[in-house]
Structure 1
Amino acid sequence: MTFFGSKTHHLKSSNFILSLLDNHQCLTIPHLNQIQSHLITSGTLSDTYAVGKLVSAFANHPTHLSHAYKLLIFSPNRSNYMWNSLIKFYIDKHEPIKAISLYKNMISSGSFPNNYTFSFVIKATNDLCDLPFGIMLHAQSIKLGWENYDFVQNGLIHLYAMCNAVNSSRKLFDVSAIKDVVTWTAVINGYVKVGRIGDARKMFDEMPDRNVVSWSAMITGYAQMGFFEEALEVFNDMQVNGFRPNHSSLVGALTACAALGAFDQGRWIHAYVDRNKMELDVKLGTALVDMYAKCGCIEMANRVFEDMPSKDVFAFTSLISALSNHGQSERAIELFNRMQREGVDPNGVTFICVLAACSRMGLVDKGLQIFKSMKHRYGIEPGVEHYGCLIDLLARSGMLQEAAQLVRKMSVKPDSYVLGALLNACREYGDVELGEEIVKHLMEQGLDYSGVHTLLSNIYASAKKWDGVMHVREQMQEKMVRKVPGCSLIEVDGVVSEFGAGHRYHKRMEDVMLSLLQMDKHLQSFLLDHNFSLGSCT
């Protein structure tokens, strides 16, 4: 293909043609081919400005990026504008690898990047979270004198923050001459990402100006780190300060409402979404489904789910989990089947939820079928949580030996959940020997927490082996094992309060139980020593 011809005297028409390229989005490929032919015959294509315009025009059509690349490569005078146009288009088309590859070609061809080049390539590197390449770009920008330009410096701050190098991000931020709200928010997001929520809040409080994105970053950060009450406090402060919540802040606040059971506030957010006619996208819709489900409103969760214009695996999984957890296992399994019919592939969490539903209904054959389909149909390797659900299903159905055999054949090391499910079945069916074997495995793994000792004690008690009960209680006392006190949450007028059982009460109850067991042991010894039997006391 020949792109370049000799110069002619059609400058007037060429200028008109170039003006057409300023509005290249309205031009079709046949039009662009005609323009290229005219520029070749007029000789204008030897001009870097003209080639740059044409490269940009062809690059705007995704199917002709390769043609734009050929124009660039065959041009005798390549300008930064030409390189930058094509690099930017690859980034806009979410192809960061191609953008970086083009940047490397630019360097190897002897062209020097400018501040725009660096800002584009840093964005591509951030999309890939390629920290080593980002450090190399930082060094090159210093060498070529572009580091202090706003777009370059902000890009590097954001790159370091998103690649878990928040200390480097903060150092650049501190020496930056121009700090806008985007720069502040980038560092706050970096702190949140590595779990330094205190540093994020300190920086948030020091911000001279805030926008809805910075407020959302703080709300989302608190919610992700489990500081749900703080997330709702910031959400309320955001509105007091005159900022209207966006999708991100609403999702963060709904996550906090779901965790706290703050139904009134969650319902208010739903009303806000409806009142402002906000798009019920996948993230916001799934957050509403999860909030209603965890607050016990399954039908409202289902209604929101059906109102969502599009549903992904997370939306389906959220409702399947809700139905399963609220005793509607049959509906959960039907929704799982519908999910497959609609072409949405389940993920690992989906299988945990649907296997739990099978376990609650005792559907052994269905559970085994679903478990096998994980690997054979969807290529998902079962994890310890999936084995735990299947073992719980078998154990609940009285198939203790089959469950124990599965534990021994597991491809992953069994954890406390797996062994705990089997241990609980041992209590229910009175299998003392298997229960003792499981507890031994748990103790070897250092997983003999209070619940394990309590279950073993209950197994002994079900079998009327009081010596075993006494031995377990003595072990708990020796190891200073205490039952974790329960707690409850209650929402009153939008305020969530937590109530926990007193530690003294639990200690006193354990002491009473231990005293009774000791009395029972001494009574048995006394009766045996004096040749009494319990039957002779009638």
Structure 2
Amino acid sequence: MLLNALNGRLRLKASKKTLSLLEECLLSMRHVYQIHAHIITSGRSSDKFSLSKLIAFSAISPNGDLAYALSLFRLIHHPNIFMWNTMMRGCVEKDRPVLGLSLYKQMVDGGDRPNNYTFSFLLRSVGGIRGLVEGRCVHGQIVKLGWASYDFVRNGLIHAYVVLGLVDDARQVFDESPEKDVVSWTAVVNGYAKAGRIETARVLFDEMPEKNAVSWSAMIASYTQLGLANEALEMFREMQLAGLRPNYAAILSVLCACAQVGALEQGKWIHCYVGRQGMELDCAVGTALIDVYAKCGYIDIAHQVFVQMPEKDVCAWTSMISGCAMHGHGERAIQLFFEMQRNGVRPNEVSFIGVLSACGQVGLVEYGRRCFENMTRVFNITPGIEHYGCMVNLYGRAGMLEDARALVQTMPVKPDAYVLGALLGAAKMHGDVELAEQMARKLGELGIDHGGVHVLLSNMYAAAQRWEDVARVRKGMEQKKVKKTPGCSLIEVDGEVIEFVAGDKSHAFMKEVELLLYGMDKQLKSLGYVVDKSQFILDVDFTY
């Protein structure tokens, strides 16, 4: 219907009237081709106004064709700065930064003078190729042509240096700015955070005269990416107290933080907030919620979120598969893996980690082996170290220690601590002391000499009543000053995440906690529970 209407309108003689249709409708490239043909047949092929409209749509529209825009652009003799900028913008948005830089060089060589918008697109192209030399050259051009005092250009320059990892250069531009707006403040704060200098980023953030949702989101995201989930959650609470509504980026970052520390109540609040705001449960938010609920032990609610998602990409499917595997629902995870492929979603590397872990849970050795082989044969995915670790764990759980050992010996990459640790765990599970000793030595060769390996080996010696070996391990730990990293757990109470560390009695309610645990222990024993002491260190008193 639109095409028929368009064909009728194409009979108009005036090019401006014809091109007004571009502003009235969402056009496809087919319509652009027809309009261009009409311009040519009407004898207006040199009409810059008409061609500029077509170039703009072809270059920057999501449905556009940059190559076609470039072919139209080449037809114009002496294009104006608007056309040059349009093409450079199209190169940025269509991920063709090298072409954008090339166009800039052609423009300058032709004698045309850039404006502030030119440098905005040019700096984004520099960031796209991570071009340090190009960035310095563009900075020089900006200063030479007198655009350095313009906020728009200056903020683009700060952002470009941040993308290039030159946060100190970004800071210099920032400090030399006569006026600093919220965009420039946020850019340099984000730069320090990305460089891992989170303390400096926080100091600058606290000094900001004005903060918007983007500023807060940048800090929350930075804390989350650095694994400082508690700080991210605290920042999110401060953002709410400041009266700012969290934006999309903040929501995603907070959900990731919730998953890291098991902050279930905060995750539930975000889930309700998404519903109240009428936000679509898209792939990113849905996947993050699945991850939160799965890691907090609510796999059924995670599955409800998964079912409610209108669209599911490979990340959503993979998150659900991994969550099921994590909770021991191996068969359910494998079923989801089948459904994902039936729905036309191609599994990725992480998907295979989830399904191989699930196979280990339910003991499907042959199916797991077939999945492992299909990674390369069917999906052209080269197995990584994590996949080999999953296979070692699969064989180990099934008691196939020789198969696990053979896989480790023949794998094309050098086994790391993850793979060797999986084989060590399998040796412990089946009481193979000799294999455990071999793996402990190999881990030592890799520099993995932490207390956990020594304690595990000592426990195995103790179970086999090899007391001299127990004493030898203990002496070795004392000589090397190796201590076992104490275990820890997290729990959320009234929105606050509390950490408990083994041996630490500093918590204000530790006596109440110990009394509760003592009561639980008595109740379990009264129901017939017997503690398995076979893997406890006997005859040895370790001080952690």
Match of 1:369 in 2: 370
Q: Which residue of 2 aligns with 1:479?
A: 480
Deviation at 1:305, TM superposition (A): 1.0
Give the C-alpha shift of residue 291 in structure 1.
0.8
Which is worse superposed, 145-154 or 52-61?
52-61
Distance 1:327 1:53, change over 3 A: closer
Residue in structure 2 matched with residue 528 of structure 1 by the alignment: none
Native 8 Å contact 1:195 1:225 kept in 2: yes
Q: Which residue of 1 aligns with 2:196?
A: 195
**Cα offset for 1:52?**
4.4
Q: Secondary structure at the match of 2:413?
A: coil
Is residue 2:54 matched to residue 1:25? no
Instruction: Within 5 Å, give how 1:166-205 maps onto structure 2.
Output: 166-205=167-206
Deviations 1:376-431 (A, max 9, x none): 22222222221111111112211112211111112112122222222222233332
The alpha carbon displacement at 1:53 in A equals 5.2
Q: Post-superposition shift, 1:514?
A: 9.0
Question: For residues 133 and 442 of structure 1, do their structure 2 counterparts lie closer, same or farther at Cα, with a shift above 3 Å needed?
Answer: same
Q: 1:143 to 1:293 in 2, by over 3 A?
A: same
Instruction: Look up the match of 1:228.
Output: 229
The answer for the alignment partner of 1:533 in structure 2 is: none
Is the aligned partner of 1:34 residue 2:35? no
One-letter amino acid matched to 2:38: Q
C-alpha displacement of 1:293:
0.8
Structure 1, unmatched stretches of 5+, are 1-12, 506-512, 519-538
Aligned ranges 1:1-20 → 2 under 5 Å: 17-18=15-16
Partner SS state of residue 490, structure 1: strand
- Describe how 1:36-75 pairs up with structure 2 within 5 A: 38=42, 40=44, 45=47, 52=52, 55-56=55-56, 59=59, 65-66=66-67, 68-75=69-76
Structure 1 residue identity aligned to 2:254 = A
Number of the residue aligned with 2:520: none
Alignment deviations for residues 440-476 of structure 1 (CA, whole Å, 9 cap, x no partner): 2222222122121122223323333222222112212
Cα distance change of structure 1 residues 33 and 151 upon mapping to structure 2, 3 Å threshold: farther
Residues 84 and 329 of structure 1, relative CA distance in 2, 3 Å threshold:
same
The correspondence of residues 353-368 of structure 1 with structure 2, limited to 5 A, is 353-368=354-369
Q: How many Å separate the matches in 2 of 1:515 and 1:429? A: 19
| Cα distance in 2, alignment partners of residues 429 and 386 from structure 1 | 22
Shift of 1:177: 2.4
Q: Is the CA contact (8 Å cut-off) linking 2:462 and 2:537 kept in structure 1?
A: no
Contact 1:222 1:230 in 2 (8 A): yes
In the other structure, the counterpart of 1:84 is 85
Q: Following superposition of structure 1 onto structure 2, how do residues 262-411 of structure 1 map, counting pairs within 5 Å? A: 262-411=263-412
Name the CA distance, whole Å, in 1 between partners of 2:381 and 2:252: 29
Q: Is the contact made by 2:329 and 2:361 (CA closer than 8 Å) also made in structure 1?
A: no
Displacement of 1:214 after TM fit?
0.9
2:258 — aligned with what?
A: 257
Output the CA distance in 2 between the equivalents of 1:371 and 1:351: 8
- Deviation (angstroms), 1:501: 1.9
Aligned-residue CA RMSD in angstroms?
A: 2.8
CA pair 420-210 structure 1, distance change in 2 beyond 3 A? same
What SS does the aligned partner of 1:373 have?
Answer: helix
Structure number with larger C-alpha Rg? 1
Q: SS state of the match for residue 423, structure 1?
A: helix
Q: Distance in 1 between matches of 2:50 and 2:159?
A: 34
**Counterpart contact for 1:427–1:458, Cα < 8 Å:** no
Structure 1 segment 442-457 matched on structure 2, within 5 A:
442-457=443-458
Distance 1:97 1:457, change over 3 A: same
- Point out the more displaced range, 430-439 or 195-204: 430-439
CA contact (8 A) 1:312 1:344 kept: yes
Q: What are the superposed Cα offsets for residues 481-527 of structure 1, whole Å, 9 maximum, x if unpaired?
A: 2222122222221122112122699xxxxxxx999459xxxxxxxxx
User: Which SS does the other structure have where 1:411 is aligned?
Assistant: coil
CA 180–425 in structure 1, closer or farther in 2 if over 3 Å, else same: same
* 1:34 alignment partner AA: H
Question: Helix, strand or coil: the match of 1:378?
Answer: coil
Distance in 2 between the 1:479 and 1:244 partners? 53
* Letter of the 2:361 counterpart: R
Q: Which residue of 2 aligns with 1:534?
A: none
1:483-522 matches, cutoff 5 A: 483-502=484-503, 516=539
* Residue identity matched to 1:25: E
Alpha-carbon spacing, 1:40–1:435, altered in 2? closer, same or farther (3 Å): closer
SS for the counterpart of 2:489 is strand
Read off the aligned partner of 1:408 and give its amino acid letter. Answer: Q
More moved, 462-471 vs 187-196: 462-471
Q: 1:478 to 1:104 in 2, by over 3 A?
A: same
Tell me: CA distance 1:120–1:22, structure 2 relative to 1, closer, same or farther (3 Å): farther
Tell me if structure 1 keeps the 8 A contact 2:158–2:187. Answer: yes
Tell me the TM-score normalised to structure 2 length.
Answer: 0.83
Tell me if the contact between 1:355 and 1:390 (Cα under 8 Å) persists in the aligned partners: yes
- After TM superposition, the structure 1 = structure 2 runs for residues 429-448 of structure 1, keeping only pairs within 5 Å, are 429-448=430-449
More helix by share: 1
Kept in 2: contact 1:451–1:483 (CA 8 A): yes
Deviation at 1:234, TM superposition (A): 1.4
**Aligned-residue offset at 1:91:** 3.1
After TM superposition, the structure 1 stretch with the greater mean CA deviation from structure 2, 226-235 or 287-296, is: 226-235
